Structure 1
Amino acid sequence: MAMKCSRSVSLILLLFVSNWYYCANAANKDGLGASFIFGDSLVDAGNNNYLSTLSKANIPPNGIDFKASGGNPTGRYTNGRTIGDIVGEELGIPNYAVPYLAPNASGKSVLSGVNYASGGGGILNATGRIFVNRIGMDVQIDYFNVTRKQIDKLLGPTKAKDYMMRKSIFSVTVGANDFLNNYLLPVLSIGARVSQTPDAFVDDMINHFRNQLTRLYQLDARKFVIGNVGPIGCIPYQKTINQLKQDQCVDLPNKLAVQYNGRLKDLLAELKDNLPGSTFVYANVYDLVMELITNYGKYGFTTASRACCGNGGQFAGIIPCGPTSSMCSDRSAHVFWDPYHPSEAANLILAKKLIDGDTRYISPMNLRQLRDL
């Protein structure tokens, strides 16, 4: 009788362990634990709503196609979802990463991830001062440090560390403002441009960014996806103020972006070698967006030059999107929602190329492979 009981207990234990192992692995494959998002207005989900700043998107018709809010503005600088929203959805996160400054960014909600991005923010602290207030990368990481301590309390230090290292992705989309709203500003940056060559300015950016990414690593970030700077000379704002034709882009901003992007790729290789256990994925946003702009018809767009929502000039590229702006009739036919930011339709294409694309656009692996690493 004792032997039968022992066998039964052994069988139950074996089934329990097998079931636990299966569930643990299934959970790891089915979805990402948390998405921590850093950067600028391309991925801001509403942090600037809580700042006294000139850079805001919590006014209609922004968010008109954002289903989660019923078409009301949320502070996202587009008509619908950002790339960060779409990536989180596709990788299995049940909720959008909550903006750090929002009142509900506390308790268990932070376990799905937190969004620290801020419209106007950059790598350098001086970037975006034209907007009065914005959250630069240094402060965004300070904020993550607070969240990191909250997760320790929620899960306990050992589980929290594992959750950060194995179940979380850290995405950073930053750098464009350092050129557009710092180095290239005609008045505010003229002193900097006289004293700093493009090489020196890019050096400054790379040195700051090295320190920032290392700080995140020290807070247990291991899986990184870093976006390079897109073709900022091709946005409707640049085309409009420089009075270009539809198929033209401004050379200088694009040259600066390409120069920075080359250095960024080298930086990520250096960090991978120096930070044990880290994985740095390079998102080639420049080539991806340039592909959309150059071959927009192939992707179902009718224009890659004119903003859907905006005013001023032939490409509606001077005045940001707001209640008095003109708005296109078919938002899904425009690559650009406003003078600066892609439409949700464009974000959807960009996000899917990053999630399941090949090494032309995302290397050394795509985001689905990074999640399952």
Structure 2
Amino acid sequence: MEGQRSKVSSCSFVSYCFLFWVQLLPLATGGKVPALIVFGDSSVDAGNNNFIPTVARSNFEPYGRDFQGGKPTGRFSNGRVPTDFLSEAFRIKPYIPAYLDPKYNISDFATGVTFASAATGYDNATSEVLSVIPLWKQLEFYKTYQKNLRAYQGETTAKGTISEALHIMSLGTNDFLENYYTSPGRSTEYTPQQYEDFLVGIAGNFIRKLYGLGARKISLGGLPPMGCLPLERTTNVVGGNECVSRYNDVALEFNGKLKKLTTSLNKELPGIRLVFSNPYYSLMHIIRNPAEYGFDSTSVACCATGMFEMGYACSRGGMFSCSDASKYVFWDSFHPSEKTNGIIAAHLVKTALAQFLE
């Protein structure tokens, strides 16, 4: 690892490449999606966990060192998370604020808000592991948000905002890595395939509820190659610290079921535009071909030793963190770096989310 960390210019490489790509988008796309409304876990949490009693936090250095002002926000990254980049791509604003952050109000949330909570999942039992916000509670927050939006914009305008807003779901990894494969509960009740089906059922019901509340544009996120996270590779001693294939196989299998769910719900719910946003292959391509993207390290993260630290452990090892996070695919042992987030976001906008720019 490198020595004492040093601050680098705020997301220099990522901003240049992402903004260059955004400039290629048609100018007419500005008003197609008026807001991004986000549900999920640490992949899209912008700091909601800062305001609940949990250890699943990242509102301290070195997190956020490449964010605007170099301050930690509660995002599990050195900078922005994918939904921040998506918001920029849709020409809304440079980042999505956290719903529980008192610095923001409905005037800010009207164009984008995240209800996401790090360490949560589809399964309520997953959110209980670290006492974070379960998915059902995120939906309750959304209902209150809609009420406030109607008071702020008026009934007709608010209804239009909701129907035209892009609703993003990004979760599921914790259900497997923090719950099923680490706690005895669910693994004694279900086989991996049965648990996948259990989670897909929850995802389907959640989407139906969003639809019932007026949402029409929805992105259902898939799982990344979770067996390639530095934490999993570090503990895969017998496998030579390579990616854990059985975890990746589960991710692929689960993603296949989510894709089938999108096909089914598009037929079931009139007027819905539901897409499956799959980060698996784009992240795997980065991991397998790091030099193509300017990365030096894929198996070890930037923070601390890069092998097992995240959250408070990352903070304690902060003095040993790398000096340039843009050389690392992963920021901590569980989360991609800002540069990786930007690359994945750009890929999703060019593929699954392209139709919402038309």
Residue 149 of structure 1 is aligned with which of 144, 147, 150?
Answer: 147
Task: Choose 1 or 2 for highest CA Rg.
Answer: 1
Q: Which residue identity lines up with residue 337 of structure 1 in the other structure? A: W
1:66 aligns with 2:100: no
Moved more, 239-248 or 270-279: 239-248
Shift of 1:251: 2.0
Residue 322 of structure 1 is aligned with which of 315, 321, 336?
Answer: 315
Q: How does 1:1-373 map to 2 (within 5 A)?
A: 29-31=29-31, 32-67=33-68, 70-94=69-93, 96-131=95-130, 133-166=131-164, 168-185=165-182, 189-243=183-237, 248-311=242-305, 315-318=306-309, 320-325=313-318, 326-357=320-351, 362=352, 367-372=353-358
Counterparts of 1:56 and 1:272, CA distance in 2: 36
Shift of 1:305: 0.7
State the partner residue of 1:22: none
Counterparts of 2:177 and 2:237, CA distance in 1: 17
Counterparts of 2:28 and 2:150, CA distance in 1: 20
State the partner residue of 2:4: none
Change (3 A) 1:208 1:86: same
Counterparts of 1:293 and 1:247, CA distance in 2: 14
Q: Which residue identity lines up with residue 356 of structure 2 in the other structure? A: L
- What is the TM-score normalised by the length of structure 1? 0.84
- What is the TM-score normalised by the length of structure 2? 0.87
Contact residue 236 and residue 242 of structure 2 kept, 8 A: no
Q: Which residue identity lines up with residue 349 of structure 2 in the other structure? A: I
Secondary structure at the counterpart of residue 309 of structure 1: coil
Counterparts of 1:121 and 1:28, CA distance in 2: 37
What is the aligned-residue identity percentage? 37
Change (3 A) 1:71 1:263: same
Change (3 A) 1:154 1:214: same
Counterparts of 2:240 and 2:104, CA distance in 1: 43
Shift of 1:95: 5.4
Secondary structure at the counterpart of residue 170 of structure 1: strand
Counterparts of 1:171 and 1:36, CA distance in 2: 6
Q: Which residue identity lines up with residue 274 of structure 1 in the other structure? A: E
Secondary structure at the counterpart of residue 167 of structure 2: strand
Contact residue 29 and residue 90 of structure 2 kept, 8 A: no
Shift of 1:330: 1.9
Q: How many residues align?
A: 329
Contact residue 40 and residue 117 of structure 1 kept, 8 A: yes
Shift of 1:104: 3.4
Moved more, 95-104 or 292-301: 95-104
Shift of 1:318: 4.2
Shift of 1:232: 0.6
What is the CA deviation profile of residues 50-79 of structure 1, one whole-angstrom value per residue up to 9, with x for unaligned ones?
011011000100000002xx1010000000
Change (3 A) 1:95 1:328: closer
Secondary structure at the counterpart of residue 349 of structure 1: helix
State the partner residue of 1:13: none
Secondary structure at the counterpart of residue 282 of structure 2: helix
Contact residue 59 and residue 323 of structure 1 kept, 8 A: no
Secondary structure at the counterpart of residue 220 of structure 2: strand
Counterparts of 2:239 and 2:291, CA distance in 1: 17
Q: Which residue identity lines up with residue 53 of structure 1 in the other structure? A: T
Counterparts of 1:371 and 1:35, CA distance in 2: 13
Shift of 1:101: 0.8
What is the CA deviation profile of residues 194-252 of structure 1, one whole-angstrom value per residue up to 9, with x for unaligned ones?
22111221111011111111111111111111110111110000011222677721122
Counterparts of 1:340 and 1:353, CA distance in 2: 21
Contact residue 95 and residue 112 of structure 1 kept, 8 A: no
Q: Which residue identity lines up with residue 67 of structure 2 in the other structure? A: F
Shift of 1:183: 0.4
Q: Which residue identity lines up with residue 195 of structure 2 in the other structure? A: F
Counterparts of 2:150 and 2:357, CA distance in 1: 22
